Structure 1
């Protein structure tokens, strides 16, 4: 009888522990898989309805305070859905001084994707696994963009720092012009 009760107690403990720790372990394994994948050479458009041929390369443009623009601004109507440019894990949703309402995601190659100046968030939360094309939020002009038309500031950060997303959104290196118009 003692052996049965001890086995039952251990089983209940293991089930409870898996219920609490299982999601964290699965996300940890997925994060390791993302980090081991190659960084993408092309990305999906992060603003619904915008075509790559309509983008302007604002990478490294001068900004106030002697800083350079570490991303690309994608202009659209306020409230236009902002989409995950790649699969990944939501690292953070929140607010900061420059970006206003922002979402940070971990994507393939360990790259971090930054979506800023959002007018609001969808139902995503930190720790959530998302697929490419998932709605993360909505185009706005929060943070230091209050005096500009609504847009998404989209940035990509690799292990060595900021990466220009413009060529990746235009189809990436080696992609033909037909692919860059999707």
Structure 2
């Protein structure tokens, strides 16, 4: 009997781990196990479902201090930021970031200096990428229309450098163009994708960089009469 209980416990633990990997996959490919199929005993599933639901339903509204370095707003130009972090999403647990609505093609920039990684396509995030700063904090960008030249794996970028352009790729194809943006502080990375925190307060503090302006065209030279 004890052996059966032990085996059941082990199976439950494996099921929890597998379910967490699948359920918290969200946008980043780094958390997605490609081609994975999960078969779980229905009795075990009923036991673990409340546990995973409680954990995933908790949206973190804490704001760990990031390093005293330069941070800038992730968009250039005009934008609208509805604070929808933590809101429920049909079939996708809770919203792990804020959506920054702007015109299609609006430049998206690095919020701080760091290393770009996980650049590429993901079914939910579309054209997406991650940025890691020198302190280990990570920032997630999704639904880009396309990438800038600087956006490739291993690229070292500076704050304000263009990484891509606002779009509707991935599961945002039926929404207005926007950037989905997330903040993952280093102390919470151990929690995986659920270590995301509310970016709204950070965004309100970060400096907005103005769009570059083209030099004015010179006025035509005056013409002299005969």
TM-score by length of 1: 0.68
Which structure 1 residue ranges, 4+ long, deviate > 6 Å from structure 2?
A: none
CA contact (8 A) 2:83 2:98 kept: yes
Partner of residue 144, structure 1: 171
Consecutive unaligned residues in structure 1, runs of 5 or more: 1-37, 173-178
Tell me the residue number matched to 1:70. 96
Larger radius of gyration: 2
- Contact 1:99–1:142 (8 Å) recurs in 2: yes
1:116 is the counterpart of 2:150 = no
Matched residue of 2:154: which SS? coil
Matches within 5 A, 1:3-22: none
Matched, 1:45 2:94: no
Structure 2 residues without counterparts, runs of 5 or longer: 1-64, 189-194, 211-226
Within the candidate set 162, 165, 173, 2:199 is matched to 165
* Residue 92 to residue 122, structure 1, CA distance change in 2 (3 Å): same
Correspondent of 2:128 among 92, 96, 102: 102
| Residue 169 (structure 2) pairs with residue 125 (structure 1) | no
User: Matched residues in 2 for 1:96 and 1:66: separation?
Assistant: 15
> Using CA pairs below 8 Å that are at least 6 residues apart, which structure has the higher relative contact order?
1
**TM-score where L is the length of structure 2:** 0.56
Cα RMSD of the aligned pairs, angstroms, is: 2.2
8 Å CA contact retained: 1:141, 1:150: yes
Deviations 1:94-136 (A, max 9, x none): 0111100001111143111111000000012111110000000
Query: Greater strand share, 1 or 2?
Result: 1
